[in-house]
Amino acid sequence: IAGITQAPTSQILAAGRRMTLRCTQDMRHNAMYWYRQDLGLGLRLIHYSNTAGTTGKGEVPDGYSVSRANTDDFPLTLASAVPSQTSVYFCASSDSRRFSYNEQFFGPGTRLTVL
């Protein structure tokens, strides 16, 4: 793989079900991010990780959890999905050690519908 990948591409999920969105990068970036993008709103940060083994909460963390067991993978879990979590989810990564230039690279996104 080259860059950052996400799976699945799209998913329809019943409310109350548990779901994990996968994200993998091969750029050896230290930082990774999960965003949701809703029509008319900007990208909103859900959770982030500045390095393997650490995570932090973003602007809209409720109902989501993440883990960062290694540099490459950053899964996002919805413990019990609700319809308001219907959105497009983007995973991104960056080399944030270069503090003066924090360009983020995005995965192709996962379109999630919760019914």
Partner 1 sequence: GQNIDQPTEMTATEGAIVQINCTYQTSGFNGLFWYQQHAGEAPTFLSYNVLDGLEEKGRFSSFLSRSKGYSYLLLKELQMKDSASYLCAVLDSNYQLIWGAGTKLIIKP
Residues at the interface with partner 1 (CB under 8 A): 40-45, 48, 58, 90, 96, 99-109
- In the complex, least distance from residue 1 CB atom to partner 1, rounded to whole angstroms: 15
- In the complex, least distance from residue 16 CB atom to partner 1, rounded to whole angstroms: 28
Cβ closer to partner 1: 19 or 90? 90
Cis status of the peptide bond prior to 75, with omega within 30 of 0: no
CA 40, 37, 68 angle in degrees (round to 5)? 160
- In the complex, least distance from residue 43 CB atom to partner 1, rounded to whole angstroms: 4
**Structure token pair of residue 66:** 């993440």
Cβ closer to partner 1: 18 or 98? 98
**Residue from 33, 108, 106, 39 nearest 64 by CA:** 33
Q: Which residue has the tokens 């983020």?
A: 104
Cβ closer to partner 1: 63 or 109? 109
- In the complex, least distance from residue 93 CB atom to partner 1, rounded to whole angstroms: 12
Residue 48 to residue 40: CA distance in whole angstroms: 23
